[in-house]
Chain A
Amino acid sequence: MGKTRITPKVLHDEHKFCAGCGHGTVFRMVAEVLEEKGLDSKAIGIVAVGCSGIMVDSFGIDWIQAQHGRAAAVATGVKRVRDDNFVLTYQGDGDALCIGIAETLNAAIRNENITTIVLNNGVFGMTGGQMSSTTLIGQKTKTSTKGRSAELHGQPLDIFNLLKNFNVAYLARGTITNFKEINKTKNYIRKAVEAQLNNKGYSMVEIVAPCPTNWKLDPVKCMKKIEDEFIPYYKLGEFTNGEVI
């Protein structure tokens, strides 16, 4: 008999993401880590708009649905009053790194004791695949139909180039292209969670993951695109200069 994978109990319903979407894998990993740490009854999560907003229907922790980009500030308000609770934000790149970059950076600068999970799929998924801060040079989207150009649109944003200069607790970037990477990424999430539990301050895990619907590629080709195009630019690993747990 093979091993049976048990779905975390905190996931009480089928998720509603597109087939092959990175959110499916990532939110499952987050659920597993929360359950492993006994945090599902203590967690308060903040999502905003974007496809991550769909997860509140199937992911059974307390949630606040914040304004687009403001999750880190909402999380600040929550953590300051409920410091015994575990507080996380779960965001897309458009949410955390475009519209919400001020809130994200300032939460990190204050070293708020919160954990941010950012799913970087290089597009605005929910609104139909427009360009994001993280869209790669040459990548075609609905609002960069000839491909992103540095002259017209600026360089893709590697948020860790900024965050690693601050005294934050933990930063790591992973992906989900294969089991090995999934396990590594899950370990990053685990460490980010522990950083908060040990009152070390701000932690972020960015996960490079596919949006098959808007990349217009099947899930297998998506994984190859991540390996060939995204990972050379968005380097994987742990990045913190500040004290690492």
Chain B
Amino acid sequence: MKKKLMKGNQALAEGAIRAGCRFYAGYPITPQTEIVEYMSDRMLEVDGNYVQAESEIGAISMVYGAASCGYRAMTSSSGPGFVLKQEGISYIASAELPAVIINVQRIGSGLGDISPAQDNYILSVKGGGHGDYRPIVYAPSSVQENLDYTLLAFEKAEQYRTPVVLLSDGAIGQMMESVRIPDMQQHDPNKFEWALKGKQSGKNKIVTSNMYYHEQDKYGRYTQDAYAAYGRYLADKVKNIQENEQLYEEKYLDDADVVLVSYGISSRICKAAIETARKEGIKLGLIRPISLFPFPNKAFDKLSDSLKGIICVEMNSWGQMVDDIKLAVNGRIPVHMYASSAYIPDEDTIIKMAKEILNSDAKEVL
């Protein structure tokens, strides 16, 4: 295993190459453009395929094609481009294909701006494309994790035959850190029975909405039973992921009086704040969701009813993850919000809020 100083976006792209990804289609948008640039060179070196697509819609459609053939395929973008990919993500989900889609968050709705933010949680985690699907979503918090969770994303995409979203952000994408680079994995696109390769000997295959795999009557019409079976199938798939794929990091949950909940770049500030606060005798703990879907409810189940409060710390203007936290604690514990807007959250505000909660001066978020 080699160690190298890398930018977050490059580490992520190298992670994909190491995972055996041999198809990448992209379109430039800050702050993820280094992924596009890196892939344009690196794919040549590993005899893979790079296409600079005409648009984000073109790129995700190309990924749909390559994924249909069993290849490990990826595309990446940021807010305004990620939203264009939702059409294709919905089709990939419906056809039950593995694919990895990166969203390196930038600030703002509309055009917004290029500085980092955490305001694509709802877009990425709750869907955005049409229909009844839920992609697995991972939130890395370091350059190393950008690489590691890209590898995991490909694995889980294949295990569940689903698109997996890596929700990074401009800060992690642009920062440089030392990373351990794992060995190259080999991926055989022909190992899947569902992969298209031309029918050769045997029956032809059709990649289409999985709805059509459910029973039809003798006239080829979908019966009420078939729709019901389809619904049950989708529900089971989501439940299975919810049950088995929750990932999180926890800190000091055993003795904490106030617990911070934060993902990605913000969670790093929270970690520092906890240590500072503990020196002052304020017992803070942390839940850092790594999988945003499935949301790590299991971490919240452990929390005692006597906990004084939870603070959700996010880099957006009103707190997009807070609803999920409230559902996870189901009214047992008061939930507070520190939405730091365009700024990286700061330790002082976190500690001040914790003190207010402990002194019963704080108002819960509505």
* Residue of B61, B64, B208 with highest tally of chain A CB at under 10 A: B61
Minimum CB–CB distance from B263 to chain A (whole Å) comes to 31
A-B contact pairs, 7 of them (CB 8 A): A60-B204, A62-B196, A64-B65, A77-B68, A80-B23, A82-B198, A106-B54
Given contacts A63-B204, A85-B198, contact A103 B64 (CB under 8 A): no
A89 to B65, CA, bound (A): 12
Q: Is the CB of A41 within 8 A of B201?
A: yes
Minimum CB–CB distance from A11 to chain B (whole Å) comes to 12
Given contacts A41-B199, A44-B196, A62-B197, contact A73 B207 (CB under 8 A): no
* Residue of B57, B189, B204, B207 with highest tally of chain A CB at under 10 A: B204
Residues of B within 8 A of A (CB): 22-23, 25, 49, 51, 53-55, 57-59, 61-69, 71, 73, 87-88, 91, 95, 189, 196-201, 203-209, 220
Is A65 in the interface zone, CB < 8 Å from B?
yes
Tell me whether chain A's interface is mostly helix, strand or loop, or mixed. Answer: mixed
**Chain B residue at minimum C-beta to C-beta distance from A68:** B87
Given contacts A65-B209, A67-B87, A81-B22, contact A73 B57 (CB under 8 A): yes
A184 to B198, CA, bound (A): 28
Minimum CB–CB distance from B293 to chain A (whole Å) comes to 23
Q: Is the CB of A81 within 8 A of B69?
A: yes
Residues of A within 8 A of B63 (CB): 77
Residues of B within 8 A of A117 (CB): none
Q: Is the CB of B54 within 8 A of A66?
A: no
Given contacts A41-B199, A77-B25, contact A56 B206 (CB under 8 A): yes
Contact with A64, one of B64, B189, B199 (Cβ below 8 angstroms): B64
**Chain B residue at minimum C-beta to C-beta distance from A46:** B65
A56 to B95, CA, bound (A): 15
Is A61 in the interface zone, CB < 8 Å from B?
yes
* Residue of A57, A60, A64, A70 with highest tally of chain B CB at under 10 A: A64
Q: Is the CB of B62 within 8 A of A62?
A: no
Residues of B within 8 A of A73 (CB): 53-54, 57-59, 61-62, 65
* Residue of B54, B203, B205 with highest tally of chain A CB at under 10 A: B54
Minimum CB–CB distance from A30 to chain B (whole Å) comes to 15
Contact with B along A84-101 (1 / 0, CB 8 A): 011000000000000000
Is A37 in the interface zone, CB < 8 Å from B?
no
A74 to B87, CA, bound (A): 13
Q: Is the CB of B208 within 8 A of A63?
A: yes
Q: Is the CB of A80 within 8 A of B66?
A: yes
Contact with A60, one of B59, B199, B208 (Cβ below 8 angstroms): B199
